[in-house]
Amino acid sequence: MARVDVIMPQMGESIAEGTVSRWLKKVGDAVKRDEPIFEISTDKVDAEIPSPSAGVLIEIRIGEGQTVAVNTVVALLETDAAVAASAPVATAPIATAPAATAPVSADPAPAAATRIAPSAPSAPVAASAGPAASAGSLEERLRTKSSPLVRKLAAEHGVDLAALTGSGIAGRVTRKDLEVFLAAQPAAGAAPVAGASMYAPAGVESHGPLPSPWPGDVVEPMSKIRRLTADHMATARRVAAHVTTFWEIDLTRVARIRGAMRRDFETQTGQKLTYMPFILQAVCAQLKRHPVLNAAVAGTDIIYRKPINLGVAVALEPTGLIVPVLKRADELSLTGLTRGVNDLAARARGKKLNPTEVQDATFTITNPGTFGSLTGTPIIPVGTTAILCLGAIEKRPKVVTGPDGEDTLAIRTCCYFSLSFDHKVVDGADADRFMGDLKRALESIPEAGF
């Protein structure tokens, strides 16, 4: 018999740690090689981690909810020696010191209690002048590779993360650490305190007072992906000047063409043909005509992106949201768009995405219409200038002009589209020109498609 280490994998070059969100096997269970054994959450993506070898799970070292550095041993397998010899054995952890720090309890009760009565965190201190970690060490990477939000806040306030020691693994600076550090600066005279106003009276915290639970309430800590979503949404709302424009688009022609080609298309490709690939094709064409909507803001500069990478929001069960990215969507045919969207959505729900597949979107589309919503005012993802929202597609009575110029009632297949755009760089006229061109493209789609 032989023992095989199960390690916390590195799910991306910039990812230094992961959280065990759920064990799919328990001690004593037999597992097959490549069978999912546990789930993790990282700064980029949730994923199921396969077993490195066939055998029996004999020890779980890291409980659910605990966050550890990459390459940390999280469990042990006992395998047949012959099987183990042919299986690649994971390398030992790069550093054992971070794993020796006090882990977060996997028991939900203490976590809830901590949230009910949080203790005041101590401010992060400057790194000591003693023996420092080498520039390429895990400790240094953990400290400087904090979450994107922490790095952004640090840059905005001119804080060098490498000079601080936080409460995270190997001194990693968390958002709470940075906020405590920044809050301590006015007391030292480093920054002026903003005066009171009618909108924010003196003594009121910018994030509002924290609510406390009442008797009978249930307090549940946020999951890793929920915390990441919350941080991203708050940041996105703050950095962009949001404005939303609403349009109704007649999809009757798209519906007719889709209906005519649907059976042959699905027989030949094995893919379900929805309205989405038609809309994606039209969006790609209009983004080329209106490049400011396929752009990013970098301080006082506008970066016009050459590739068109479409983020397509996917709702997860039972809760959660992830936005996989269809890279270079403008180079794909109707079949390629259909395959790409269906594949990304299926792997997103099955937690099979790689970190690179949720990065580098240049424009995003969200589709709450699948749940019956008529429209929405979506939040623009950080690093982009616009997001398109699709409402429910439904038949509506409309007044149309007949062949002799007379007005008549007709049943049309319609949908409300809304576009949220960053008014810092996108003028209202630019956004409406884009939507007007998109409307004309979809309402006059050629019989053979785009």
Positions annotated as catalytic residues are 423, 427
- Left, alpha or beta for 171 (phi > 0: left; psi -120 to 50: alpha)? left
Q: Are 302 and 295 in contact (CB under 8 A)?
A: yes
Spatial distance between the Cα atoms of 169 and 97, rounded to a whole number of angstroms: 9
Counting beta carbons within 10 angstroms of the beta carbon of residue 238, is it exposed (0 to 12), middle (13 to 18) or buried (19 or more)? exposed
Q: Are 146 and 43 in contact (CB under 8 A)?
A: no
